[in-house]
Amino acid sequence: MAERPVVLAVGPGDDRILGKLAEGFEVLHAPDRGSMEAILADPPDIQAIATLWQWRLDGAVFDKLPGLKVISNFGVGYDAIDAVEAAKRGILVAHTPDVLNDEVVDTTLMLWMAVSRELIPSERWARSGTWETKGAYPLTRSIRNRTVGIVGLGRIGLGIAEMAMRYGSTILYHTRTPKDVEYTHCPDLVEMAASSDVLIVITPGGASTRHLINAPVLNALGPDGILINVARGTVVDEAALVAALETGRLGAAGLDVFEDEPKIPDALKTMDNVVLLPHVGSASVETRQAMGDLVCENLTHWAEQGRVLTPVPECKELNG
Ligand code: NAP
Ligand code: 8YV
C-alpha cells in the first residue's frame, strides 16, 4: 500500500471533512455523479471511499475498484451501500451510529409537535394578518398523554420512546424481535397502528422494510392518527400515504424523508395537515461535525490498524 492511501470522497463537498481527510490521505473528490463516473472510467488505485451523502455503492462500483478495502459512510443508515457484497469481497463498511441519536430524536419531536399543534398554519395565520380579521386560531391537539407506536426500537427509537415518556405517552413498538424493555411489543403492525394516536417510523431502509407502512397500516392509524417518518422514504408507500391523506382516512403526517429525494409529491406540498422537511434529521452543525469526525476517525483507524471503529453489522466479523 502507498504511504498515503487514496480516498475517494463521494458527494457534495464538506470542506471540513475534506480538510481532515487530507491530513492522512490523498483525497480525490467526486462531488456529483458525473465526476464519480469520470473517475471510475479510469480510476487510480483507490483503497478507501468516504461518502459525504447517501450514495449508491454496489458490486458494479466495486468491480471498478479492485484495490478498495474500506468504505466510511456519513450516516448511520447505509441502505445505499451493498454491505453484504462488500463483506464478501473483503471490503469493510463503517457508519456513524449514536453520535446523531439526540438530534434525530429532537427532529422527531419537533415534527410531531409541529403537526399536532399546527405550527405552520398557525404561524401563517399570525403572519398574514388573519388573526386581526378572523380572530383566534382554532384549538389544536396536545401531544401529551398519547399512545405512541414506534416502528423500529433501536438506538434512535429508544431515544424517542424515552422522550415521549416525558410527555406521559404509552409506548407500543413494532420490531422483528422483542427487546428487553418495559414497552409493549406488537408483532402485528396493523393492530399497533389501530391502537396508536401517532405512529413514528425509525427503522433502517432497504428491501426488508420497503413499504412496511402501507394502506392497511395507514387506514388502521385512522382519521385522527398522525404518521411521522424520520427513517427512509422507502419504508412508507408514498402513493398510499397521499391517497390516505387526500381522502381523510389518515389525519396528518410529518415527513423528513421521501421515496425519491429530493423530489416530493406535489400533492403533499399543498396539504395543511402535513409538515415537510428536506431530510434534516441530523442536520445541526454540531451533529454533522460529529458525524464527519467519525467518518474520518474510521478511516484513520483503518489506515493505522486495519480495523474500523464502528463497522456495520454485516462487516463485524471481517473487522475482527
Ligand atoms: P438501529 O439501532 O439499527 O435500529 C433499527 C431498529 O429497526 C431495530 O429496533 C430493529 O429491530 C428495527 N427493524 C429493522 N428491520 C425491521 C423490519 N423489517 N421490521 C421492523 N423493524 C425493523 O438503527 P438506528 O441507529 O436507530 O437508526 C435507524 C434508522 O434511522 C437508520 O437506519 C436510518 O435509516 C434512519 N435515520 C434517519 C435520519 C434522518 O436524517 N431522517 C437520521 C439518522 C437515521 P429488529 O432487528 O428486531 O427488527
Ligand atoms: C444523514 C441519515 O443526513 O444517518 C442517517 O442515516 O439519514 C442522516 O443522518 C444522511 O445519512 C446523510 O447522508
Residues 225-271 pLDDT 10s: 999 999 999 999 999 999 999 999 999 999 999 999 999 999 999 99
For the residues 52-74, what does the mean pLDDT come to? 95
Q: Point out the ligand nearest to the CA of residue 177.
A: 1
Ligand 2 interacting residues, C-beta cut-off 6 A:
53-54, 74-77, 100, 279, 281-282
Q: How far apart are CA 116 and CA 46, in angstroms?
A: 49
Long-range contacts of 3-7 (CB under 8 A, 24+ apart): 5/47, 5/48, 5/303, 6/44, 6/45, 6/46, 6/47, 6/48, 7/46, 7/47, 7/48, 7/49, 7/50, 7/299
Domain with CATH 3.40.50.720 in the chain: 6-97+285-319, 101-276
Cα of 27 vs centre of ligand 1, distance in Å, is: 31
Which residue's alpha carbon is at the smallest distance from atom 2 of ligand 2? Answer: 75
Q: 190 falls in which pLDDT band (50, 70, 90)?
A: very high
Q: What's the pLDDT score for residue 125?
A: 98
CATH code assigned to 6-97+285-319: 3.40.50.720
Contact between 291 and 282 (Cβ < 8 Å): yes
Cα of 79 vs centre of ligand 1, distance in Å, is: 11
Q: Point out the ligand nearest to the CA of residue 79.
A: 1
CATH code assigned to 101-276: 3.40.50.720
Q: Which of 232, 238, 259, 288 is catalytic?
A: 232
| Known catalytic membership, residue 261 | yes
Q: What's the pLDDT score for residue 1?
A: 47
Q: What is the pLDDT of residues 193-203, one digit of tens each?
A: 999 999 999 99
DSSP 111-123: HHHHHHTTHHHHH
